[in-house]
Amino acid sequence: MLTTKPRGTNDILPGEVEKWQYIEKVIREVCQTYGYREIRTPIFEHTELFQRGVGETTDIVEKEMYTFKDRGDRSITLRPEGTAAVVRSYLENKLYAGTQPLKLYYIGPMFRYDRPQAGRYRQFHQFGVEVLGVHSPGIDAEVMAMAMEVYGRLGLKDLELHINSLGCPQCRPLLKERLQEFLQPHLEGFCQQCKGRYHRNPLRILDCKSEKCKQLSEGAPTTADCLCPSCAAFFDEVKRCLDLLGIDYVVDKNLVRGLDYYTHTAFEIMAKGIGAQSSVGGGGRYNGLVEACGGPEIPGIGYALGLERILLAMEQQGAEFPPAWRPDVFLVTACPEAEEEVYKLLADLRELGYSADKDYMGRSLKAQMKYAGKLNARRTVIIGENELKNGTITVKDMITGEQEEIKREKITVLLGGK
């Protein structure tokens, strides 16, 4: 146990972590392009926030949360998603009193007690955005365009944007009625959970992961069949804005999304060739959420992209990552007397912003060169008796193998400006 990580978690090791840093960098660049500011909320919140904010009948709340009592006997939950916490923070900090809309983003770990498999983990990472304070088809199209831009800048191809409208509280009663009518004759065949959902929230049944439930609900009436005129017009306008922005999409009437608070636009992005867990991101409008969390009636829309799945898709599609990080210089101490000079030069180079390193293991000259090679250093700088005597350093280019002795001051010229 001591040397084994909990099931469904991952170590991101050096070598791999650079890929993550790259993805995060691209995400932050896109956020800047679109005018979104970062928000950081706690990793854990009061359990009630997710019960209310994600929805009592969702898979997340019913079976996937990491919930525990803290020492003060409060029920705490590790965040399974980002939206509820952003809304909580929006209300707590009265961000609604400032200029609207508020465009926010976050990047961080989420926790769900899911069945681990390729692309599905118990601790995973999401990049997400939330736009609060605006109900306009244009912003719905913008957030989708922005998600697609992230994938595009990361070099991902063959993605499909699926969109649907889930309607509003006005269209729901009709949908609920028609769904119950359709499902009633097959009710016995559904899983225990879906039987419970039949009365409380039959729409949830369409999102059940069980194969049997999926089969039984095939052909069921969809949200799109029951839209009120205003929701239908809003959805048409979202599609028009997507067309204007040049974003391709597929209307998918069966798209439900796993969270209770969605209204109007819902969307999901699928990547081909990454296995069963093909959803690389999804989101939607949640006009009822702020109120459900105890705030005023404020509309919102957001999405979350899974970083593990983005990485998986990038690797599978052979997308390019920046070249691996390497130190600019490795300083080789060729005789004990050179140590003082090596330390001084090391400090100088680091102060100038170069990535520089030395040996701390008492390695021989040959072993230091070998170590510099393992670190993939761009150059080595060797200081020994001769160099001390001449006030020089010997620089070896580790790519070409060429070596030259230069005045110590010349080193920055050789390395290029920083």
Q: Is 147 in the site for ligand AMP (CB under 6 A)?
A: no
Angle between helices 17-34 and 137-153 (to 10 degrees): 150
Q: At 283, which helix (H) or strand (E)?
A: strand 279-285
Q: Return the residue of 50, 90, 106, 124 that touches ligand AMP, per CB under 6 A.
A: 124
Q: Return the residue of 53, 55, 167, 282 that touches ligand AMP, per CB under 6 A.
A: 282
Residue 126 Cβ vs ligand AMP, minimum distance, rounded to whole Å: 5
When the beta carbons of 81 and 252 are compared against ligand AMP, the nearer one is 81
Residue 289 Cβ vs ligand AMP, minimum distance, rounded to whole Å: 14
Q: Return the residue of 105, 106, 121, 235 that touches ligand AMP, per CB under 6 A.
A: 121
Q: What is the C-alpha to C-alpha distance for residues 162 and 160, in angstroms, rounded to an integer?
A: 6
What sign for the dihedral angle of Cα 220, 212, 159, 261?
positive
Report yes or no: 61 and 87 within 8 Å, Cβ to Cβ. Answer: no
Q: Is 306 in the site for ligand AMP (CB under 6 A)?
A: yes
Total length of the chain: 418
Q: Which of residues 126-145 bind ligand AMP (CB under 6 A)?
A: 126
- Sheet with 356-358: list strands edge to edge: 356-358, 329-333, 379-383, 392-397, 403-407
Residue 177 φ/ψ, nearest 5 degrees: -60, -50
Number of Cβ atoms within 10 Å of the Cβ of 256? 21
Q: Is 300 in the site for ligand AMP (CB under 6 A)?
A: no
Size of the site for ligand AMP (CB under 6 A): 17
Q: Is 304 in the site for ligand AMP (CB under 6 A)?
A: yes
When the beta carbons of 280 and 393 are compared against ligand AMP, the nearer one is 280
When the beta carbons of 112 and 379 are compared against ligand AMP, the nearer one is 112
Site string for ligand AMP, 308-337 (x = CB under 6 A): xx----------------------------
When the beta carbons of 277 and 392 are compared against ligand AMP, the nearer one is 277
Q: Return the residue of 67, 180, 279, 392 that touches ligand AMP, per CB under 6 A.
A: 279
When the beta carbons of 81 and 387 are compared against ligand AMP, the nearer one is 81
When the beta carbons of 152 and 384 are compared against ligand AMP, the nearer one is 152
The closest residue (CB) to ligand AMP is 306
Q: Which of residues 23-82 bind ligand AMP (CB under 6 A)?
A: 81
Whose CA is closest to 259, among 302, 199, 319? 302
Report yes or no: 343 and 331 within 8 Å, Cβ to Cβ. Answer: no
Residue 197 Cβ vs ligand AMP, minimum distance, rounded to whole Å: 17
Place of tokens 């079976």: 63
Place of tokens 């002795």: 405
Secondary structure of 290-316 as H, E, C letters = HHHCCCCCCCEEEEEEEHHHHHHHHHH
What lies within 8 Å, CB to CB, of 286 at 6+ separation is 83, 259, 261, 262, 263, 299, 300, 301, 302
Binding site for ligand AMP (CB under 6 A): 81, 112, 114, 119-121, 124, 126, 258, 279-282, 304, 306, 308-309
